[in-house]
């Protein structure tokens, strides 16, 4: 079966190309993806936080803040990425990033083969603001979730589903992405009513 060639695999290939050498900075990754828009750029920190790399202290918090900033820019309709210079200069070992990308590559291929335009009415404003706002809220919560093992990774996976849904205009993936949020809402309601 041929490898898919949609927006997810193309973004993965762009990041892999940027991750050559000893270290790769956030700015280099953004520069590699900037022609594709904000969504693939939001997907990168979400993927990083969803992989074992999230075990590096502070990485999930950094990824969450980056997701929040980029999601805010997406909500406001920005076309160009505006990140603080200090954030753009942060770097990660290129080999570790390439290894993490290799681990998720089969999942990306699997997802891309199964996505298609479905329920596309969900991706027009004002409904489009829902997944964008959820990405923003999740990114803001991730630094606080870092103290609970694997919770920031679970939040990052939810962001990945939301971004995949928006990139591919797949309403089914959007609905799947809402399930963790519905579960969290149920738990909060149960805890507050007890």
Q: How many domains does the chain have?
A: 1
CB 55 within 8 A of CB 95: no
**Band of pLDDT at residue 149, cut at 50, 70 and 90:** confident
Is 13 part of any domain? yes
Is 78 part of any domain? yes
Is 147 part of any domain? yes
pTM greater than 0.85 (yes/no): no
The mean pLDDT of 63-85, rounded to a whole number, is 90
Is 1 part of any domain? no
Residue-range definition of the domain harbouring residue 133:
7-193
Is 156 part of any domain? yes
Q: Is the pLDDT of residue 64 over 90?
A: yes
DSSP collapsed to 3 states, 118-134: ECHHHHCCCCCHHHHHH
Is 111 part of any domain? yes
**Per-residue b/e over 130-167, b at no fewer than 16 CB within 10 Å?**
ebbebbbebbbbbbebbeeeeebbebbbbbbbbbbbbb
Is 93 part of any domain? yes
d(CA 83, CA 72): 11
- pLDDT tens digit sequence for 88-98: 888 888 888 88
Is 131 part of any domain? yes
């Amino acid at each position: 079966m041929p490898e898919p060639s949609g927006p997810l695999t193309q973004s993965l290939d762009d990041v892999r190309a940027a991750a050559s050498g000893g270290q790769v900075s956030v700015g280099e990754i953004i520069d590699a993806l900037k022609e594709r828009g904000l969504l693939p750029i939001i997907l990168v920190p979400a993927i990083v936080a969803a992989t074992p790399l999230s075990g590096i202290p502070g990485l999930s918090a950094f990824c969450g803040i980056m997701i929040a900033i980029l999601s805010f820019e997406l909500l406001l309709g920005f076309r160009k990425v505006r990140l603080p210079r200090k954030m753009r200069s942060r770097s990660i070992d290129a080999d570790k990033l390439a290894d993490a990308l290799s681990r998720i590559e089969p999942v990306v291929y699997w997802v891309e083969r199964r996505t298609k335009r479905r329920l596309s009415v969900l991706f027009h404003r004002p409904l489009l603001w829902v997944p964008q706002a959820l990405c923003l809220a999740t990114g803001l919560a991730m630094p606080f979730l870092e103290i609970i093992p694997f919770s920031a990774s679970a939040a990052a996976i939810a962001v990945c589903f939301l971004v995949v849904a928006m990139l591919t205009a797949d309403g089914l993936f959007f609905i799947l992405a809402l399930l963790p949020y519905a579960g969290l809402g149920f738990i909060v309601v149960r805890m507050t009513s007890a």
